[in-house]
Amino acid sequence: MDPIEIAICDDAVGDGDTADRYLQEYLREKRYSQVQVRQYAGAFDLLGALDQHYIDIVLLDILLPGISGIEAARAIRKIQPQVKIVFLTSSPDYAVEAFSVQALHYVMKPLQKSIFFEAMDRAFVELRKVEKKQIVVKIGGGAAAKLDIEEIEYIKSYEHEQTIYLQHQEPLLAKQSLAFFGEILDRLAPQQFVQPYKGYLINLKAVRIIQQEGIFLFSGEKIPIARNNFRALRDAYFNFSFSLGVTGAVFKPKRF
């Protein structure tokens, strides 16, 4: 298992030190040993580090110099969308904005250890939920993003770059090959991802209807299907759906 990366970003030295002290106590109490903790004095330092490190959890002050913690969180979501964000702040005024960037918790300062521990419990629970089904994607500029494979709808290849279309996030442009994604996704989720047409890899869980003229996803996207691939894909869809206990898999034959 790779070490868990936790970032603390707070320009107030005393507050950052308090967060680090409580975090170290929490890690000892819960017996988490493979954890790397890094401190950053401002949002720009944190965002610059995303090119070098994947971060699992960030403890983020909101009232930062330069750009606010809310703005930093929006930038983090674009680069590493699966980061678990816990806001640390002295002001209750940003709660609505905080949850607009899918923050896990909003912890008021001065920090109380019991509330801080509760926030960390939530963050580690969320990490465990996705631990076994994540992939790391190279997205340019030296940056990387860790994605939950259940969020992937489909991947489209064009001119040696792959666009990954996601359920709840903006598409990502990835540098690895389609063959790479096909191999790693099949290893993590056998039979769940298939190639209906040259340059496409789709998640069968995202499929609403399969017919000879194309595949329609729940998002409304239409994916082309090779004519000689239709029967094999239809059977793969049924077999995968039945393996999940889904008896109502939707198949819509084209009528002539």
Domain of residue 49, residue span: 4-130
Quote the CA–CA distance of 198 and 195 in Å, as a whole number.
Answer: 7
pLDDT confidence band for 188 (50 / 70 / 90): confident
Based on the fold, state whether residues 85 and 67 are members of the same structural domain: yes
The structural domain count of the chain equals 2
Query: What are the φ/ψ torsions at residue 36 (nearest 5 degrees)?
Result: -105, 120
Q: Average the pLDDT over 241-251 and give the result.
A: 52
Q: What is the DSSP letter of 206?
A: G
Which residue type sits at 88? L
Quote the CA–CA distance of 185 and 205 in Å, as a whole number.
Answer: 13
Based on the fold, state whether residues 37 and 149 are members of the same structural domain: no
Helix (H, G, I), strand (E, B) or coil at 21: helix
Res. 244: pLDDT tops 70: no
Based on the fold, state whether residues 139 and 124 are members of the same structural domain: no
- Which of 100, 130, 160 is the endpoint of a domain? 130
Q: Is 122 inside a domain boundary?
A: yes
Q: Is 43 inside a domain boundary?
A: yes
The answer to whether residues 38 and 8 touch, using CB atoms and an 8 Å cutoff, is yes
Of 19-33, 50-64, 121-135, 201-215, minimum mean pLDDT range: 121-135
Q: In the block, which residue shows the tokens 């909101």?
A: 62
pLDDT at 2: 64
The CATH number of whichever domain residue 22 belongs to comes to 3.40.50.2300
Quote the CA–CA distance of 237 and 243 in Å, as a whole number.
Answer: 10
- Which of 130, 157, 186 is the endpoint of a domain? 130
pLDDT over 70 for what percent of the chain?
Answer: 92
